Copies of this chain bind each other. A is one copy, B any other.
Amino acid sequence: MKLEQAFGQILREYRKKANLSQEKLAQESDLDRTYISLLERGLRQPSITTVFQLSTALKISSTEIISALEAMFNEDPENRISDPKR
């Protein structure tokens, strides 16, 4: 799984937990609904500013999102960003 796909899954989960539509999340985060949709489908990857905007709209911390992302991403050893040189 690519990092942006993991991010998309997490974003969708948090959005549903917050009981927001893509439309509503777009309004709250000042992002485009189309862009939210692309993010959730793992077709774009967010900048840190986008992560901060989304987490504010979702009323969670950016740290929480990144922590969930890191956990999901590292779960699969194949997808771990490893450092083979060390």
Interface of A is mostly: helix
A61 to B80, CA, bound (A): 12
B47 touches A45 (CB 8 A): yes
A81 touching B66 in the complex, CB below 8 Å, given contacts A3-B48, A48-B3, A48-B46:
no
Give the interface size class of chain A: 20 to 34
B51 near A45 (CB under 8 angstroms)? Answer: no
A56 to B59, CA, bound (A): 28
Of the candidates B51, B57, B63, the one whose C-beta lies within 8 Å of that of A48 is B51
5 extra A-B contacts, CB within 8 A, seeds A3-B52, A52-B81: A45-B48, A47-B48, A56-B81, A62-B69, A63-B70
